[in-house]
């Protein structure tokens, strides 16, 4: 059976963080309940289209999914299991924020089959959290983390942010060190730099020069320190901004980067199924009235777009793009399509051929005849230097 990933968007938060442009907002309990009912309706209504697929990952993201009632989450997962074929080793992630969970809620998540937690911590410094407009403290994070371990979560991600207003290199390092010093530290760490988005309070403050951001050099230094400290602590950097202990790369997100089939439920949720992209509309009121009739922007990807996406997304992974799979899928080798771009970036030290796959599956070997005899071309990947300028390199693969 073919595999499928499911994503559920929960667009509710206790309050809006000052930098956030995600599709999320505070809401009353009645709205949350009505939305969760609509989500169930969409989930059940779509199931008939996916009977020949087996679900191998489920991601409940947002927003802050932990702001909805735990019984709604239990009901959602029961509904998925009742209507889809779910793999025995399915990865089920929920995003939570400290301050919105307690031991009982976490324990019920675990019993409902959720086996991966993603905790939005961002910083261990309470004053930095206040400046971001976030609702929780380091102590609340520590409590949530300890409770999660206690109720049996053995796969936890912690989100960290750098380049925050008023943040020094020392305070950023302190955040990293405090996470690494936790008893039984997390299996996975996502470390992103703050991006100031237009239309957010931070965007306005930036325009008025009121945001005391670290300069670019400091930002780069923090980025490099992240890699040094996390790799030194046994984490493998498997994607530009994601680090994991061996065997704990996020299956769901790797699916996005390798263009597996996925279906998104809820407002704003995107899907990619057999090279057709579609997306739910953003309007929550329309969605709650017509949850099954809400898909927009249906786009059938051309072969060229599929190739571009394969490179643009796949190069985010440090294991790179599988040359054999590319040739099998498109009937042409990477070098036939991208020979010049590859050669140019190899010469600049930004791309490399890698011998092995890092995330666990078998390699497909490609043998190519060249003047020098048979050469093995396994995986095309960014070098360390290439990872530093990944957008520049990846943009060159747009045909
Ligand atoms: S908790 Fe996350 S989704 Fe919600 S407002 Fe803050 S950053 Fe945005």
Which residue in 92, 134, 96 sits closest to 113, CA to CA? 92
CB atoms within 10 A of CB 215: 9
Residue-wise pLDDT tens digits, 245-255: 999 999 999 99
Whether residue 356 is predicted with pLDDT greater than 90 in this model: the reply is no
Q: Compute, in angstroms, the gap from residue 393 CA to the centroid of ligand 1.
A: 30
pLDDT digits (tens, 9 = 90+) for 32-57: 999 999 999 999 999 999 999 999 99
Which residues, 6+ apart, have CB-to-CB distance to 84 below 8 Å?
Answer: 4, 6, 47, 50, 53, 55
Ligand 1 atom with minimal separation from the 13 CA:
4
Phi, psi dihedrals of residue 379, rounded to the nearest 5°? -135, 135
State the pLDDT confidence band at 296, using cuts at 50, 70 and 90. confident
Nearest CA to ligand 1 atom 3: 63
* Mean pLDDT value across residues 176-187: 98
Q: Which two tokens stand for residue 293?
A: 């009739």
Cβ neighbours for 362, distance < 8 A, ≥ 6 positions apart: none
Contacts of 117 (CB under 8 A, 6+ apart): 93, 94, 96, 106, 109, 148, 153, 155, 156, 157
The CA distance from 120 to 23, in Å, is 16
Q: Compute the half-sphere exposure of residue 300: CA atoms within 13 Å on the CB side of its CA.
A: 0
For residue 383, is pLDDT > 50?
A: yes
Give the per-residue pLDDT at 372.
38
Residue 328 three-state SS: helix
∠ CA(280), CA(284), CA(286), 5° rounding?
Answer: 80
Q: Whose CA is nearest to atom 2 of ligand 1?
A: 63
Residues 280-304, mean pLDDT to the nearest whole number: 90
Question: What is the rounded CA–CA span in Å between residue 60 and residue 66?
Answer: 10
- For residue 374, pLDDT over 90 is answered with no
Cβ-based neighbour number of residue 69 at 10 Å: 13
pLDDT mean over 253-278? 96
Q: Evaluate whether 164 touches 127 at the Cβ level (below 8 Å).
A: no
Q: How many CB atoms sit inside 10 A of residue 276's CB? A: 12
d(CA 302, CA 262): 18
> What mean pLDDT do residues 48-69 have?
97
Residue with tokens 């380049």: 163
* Residue linked to tokens 């309470």: 126
In this prediction, what percent of the chain has a pLDDT beyond 70?
94
Q: Which atom of ligand 1 is nearest to the CA of 24?
A: 3
Maximum C-alpha span of the chain? 70
Residues comprising the chain, all counted: 399
* CA-closest residue to ligand 1 atom 7: 20
pLDDT for res 361: 42
* Centroid of ligand 1 to alpha carbon of 34 (angstroms): 21
Cα–Cα separations (whole angstroms), residue 225 to 150, 175, 177 = 31, 12, 11
Ligand 1 pocket mutation pick from 11, 12, 13 by most atoms within 8 angstroms of CB: 13
Position 101 scores a pLDDT of 97
Cα(219)–Cα(109) distance, integer angstroms: 36
Q: What is the pLDDT of residue 268?
A: 96
- The reported pLDDT for the residue numbered 359 is 52
pLDDT tens, 195-243?
Answer: 999 999 999 999 999 999 999 999 999 999 999 999 999 999 999 999 9
Measure 175 CA to ligand 1 centroid, in angstroms: 19
What pLDDT score does 363 carry? 38
Tokens at 342, concatenated: 């590859």
CB-based burial, 280-302: b 16+ in 10 Å, e otherwise? bbeebeebbeebeebeeeeeebe
Q: Whose CA is nearest to atom 8 of ligand 1?
A: 20
The CA distance from 182 to 141, in Å, is 11
Q: Which residues line ligand 1 (CB under 6 A)?
A: 13, 16-17, 20, 22, 24, 62-64, 97, 120
For residue 100, the model assigns a pLDDT of 95
Best mutation site among 62, 123, 144, 266 for ligand 1 pocket (most ligand atoms within 8 Å of CB): 62
Report the alpha-carbon distance of residue 25 to residue 15 in Å, rounded: 7
Q: Which helix (H) or strand (E) holds 208?
A: none
Interior angle at CA 302, CA 268 and CA 341, nearest 5: 105
What's the CA-to-centroid distance between 331 and ligand 1, angstroms? 43
Specify the pLDDT at position 298.
85
pLDDT at 375: 42
The confidence score (pLDDT) of residue 358 equals 52
Among 17-21, 105-109, 331-335, 363-367, name the one with the lowest average pLDDT. Answer: 363-367
Q: What is the pLDDT of residue 47?
A: 96
């Amino acid at each position: 059976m073919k595999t499928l990933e499911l994503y559920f968007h929960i667009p509710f938060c206790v309050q809006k963080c000052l930098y956030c442009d995600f599709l999320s907002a505070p809401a009353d309990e009645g709205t949350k309940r009505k939305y969760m009912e609509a989500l169930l309706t969409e989930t059940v209504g779509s199931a008939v289209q996916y009977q020949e697929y087996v679900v191998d990952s489920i991601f409940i993201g947002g927003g802050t999914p932990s702001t909805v009632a735990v019984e709604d989450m239990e009901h959602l997962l029961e509904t998925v299991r009742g209507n889809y074929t779910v793999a025995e080793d399915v990865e089920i992630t929920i995003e939570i924020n400290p301050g919105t969970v307690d031991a009982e809620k976490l324990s019920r998540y675990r019993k409902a089959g959720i086996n991966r937690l993603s905790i939005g911590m961002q910083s261990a410094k309470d004053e930095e959290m206040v400046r971001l407009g976030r609702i929780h403290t380091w102590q609340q994070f520590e409590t949530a983390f300890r409770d999660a371990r206690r109720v049996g979560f053995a796969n936890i991600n912690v989100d960290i942010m750098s380049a925050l207003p008023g943040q020094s290199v020392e305070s950023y390092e302190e955040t990293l060190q405090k996470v690494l010093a936790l008893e039984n530290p997390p299996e996975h760490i996502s470390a992103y730099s703050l991006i100031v988005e237009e239309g957010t309070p931070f965007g306005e403050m930036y325009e008025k020069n009121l945001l005391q951001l670290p300069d670019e050099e400091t930002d780069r230094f923090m980025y490099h320190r992240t890699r040094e400290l996390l790799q030194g602590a046994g984490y493998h950097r498997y994607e530009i901004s994601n680090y994991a202990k061996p065997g704990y790369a996020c299956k769901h997100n790797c699916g996005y980067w390798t263009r597996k089939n996925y279906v998104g439920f809820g407002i704003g949720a995107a899907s990619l199924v057999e090279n057709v992209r579609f997306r739910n509309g953003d309007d929550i009121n329309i969605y709650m009235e017509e949850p099954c009739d809400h898909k927009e922007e249906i786009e059938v990807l051309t072969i060229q777009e599929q190739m571009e996406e394969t490179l643009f997304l796949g190069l985010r992974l440090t294991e790179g793009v599988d040359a054999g799979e590319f040739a099998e899928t498109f009937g042409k080798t990477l070098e036939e399509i991208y020979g010049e771009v590859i050669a140019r970036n190899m010469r600049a030290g930004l791309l490399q051929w890698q011998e092995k796959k890092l995330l666990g599956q078998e390699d497909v070997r490609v043998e190519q005849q060249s003047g020098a005899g048979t050469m093995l071309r396994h995986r095309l990947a960014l070098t360390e230097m290439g990872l530093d300028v990944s957008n520049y390199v990846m943009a060159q693969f747009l045909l």
